[in-house]
Structure 1
């Protein structure tokens, strides 16, 4: 438990370059969650929603104040709020219709958040999201159940918007 409490993990730069860009989460991070959902919409529509950070508030009203440094591209930065947390992020993987991944930092916690899209044979989209978070004292105010609930809420919002 003490190790989880004080876990710092890799630097944000290493997390970005050696983990996120290579399709990896921080497997040693104290918080890891995964969620999948089937969306009855074409992968193009789902991709359009995920690759438009300015519209993320439509997926989850807790997300707001999104500011992109440039376009959605590998290594492009953006800042945003999720609830009370101000997050500074950077895109690590942009593979249209297949994957969008970013890293982020908020209050000393480092995260990798991946989204994998797969077109199904019948024209729907299977979306898998996975996230790892680590940082000193993080487990005092956030836990796996909360992270899991956040991912479930996020994908439910994506599903609602894509199927509308």
Structure 2
């Protein structure tokens, strides 16, 4: 328990270059979660929503104050708020209609957040999201269950918007 409480993990730069860009999470991070959902919409529609950070607030009202200085591309930085948490992020993987991954820092916590899309034989889209979060004392105010619920809420909102 004590190791998890004080876990710092790799620096954000190492997480970005050696983990996120290589399709990896921080498996040692004290917080990890994953969720997959089937969306009855073409992959291009799902991609359009995921690759539009300024529009994320229409999917989830907790997401706001999104600032993206340029196009969504590898290493492009952006900032946003999820509830009260201000997150400074950077895209690590941008493969249209396949994967979008970013890293982020908020209040000393470091995260890797991946979305992998797969087109089904019948034209629907499977989306798998997974995230790892680490940082000292993070587990005192955030939990795996809360991270799991956040991912489920996010993909459910994505599904609702894509199918509308």
For normalisation by structure 2, the TM-score amounts to 1.00
Point out where structure 1 has 5 or more consecutive residues left out of the alignment.
Answer: none
Q: List structure 1 runs of 4+ shifted beyond 6 angstroms.
A: none
Aligned partners of 2:60 and 2:134: how far apart in 1?
A: 23
RMSD: 0.3
Aligned to 2:149: 149
- Shift of residue 70, structure 1, vs aligned partner: 1.4
Alignment of 1:10-159 (within 5 A): 10-159=10-159
- Shift of residue 69, structure 1, vs aligned partner: 2.3
Aligned partners of 1:61 and 1:160: how far apart in 2?
A: 14
For normalisation by structure 1, the TM-score amounts to 1.00
- Shift of residue 59, structure 1, vs aligned partner: 1.1
Point out where structure 2 has 5 or more consecutive residues left out of the alignment.
Answer: none
Aligned to 1:44, the other structure's residue is in SS state helix
Aligned partners of 2:99 and 2:60: how far apart in 1?
A: 20
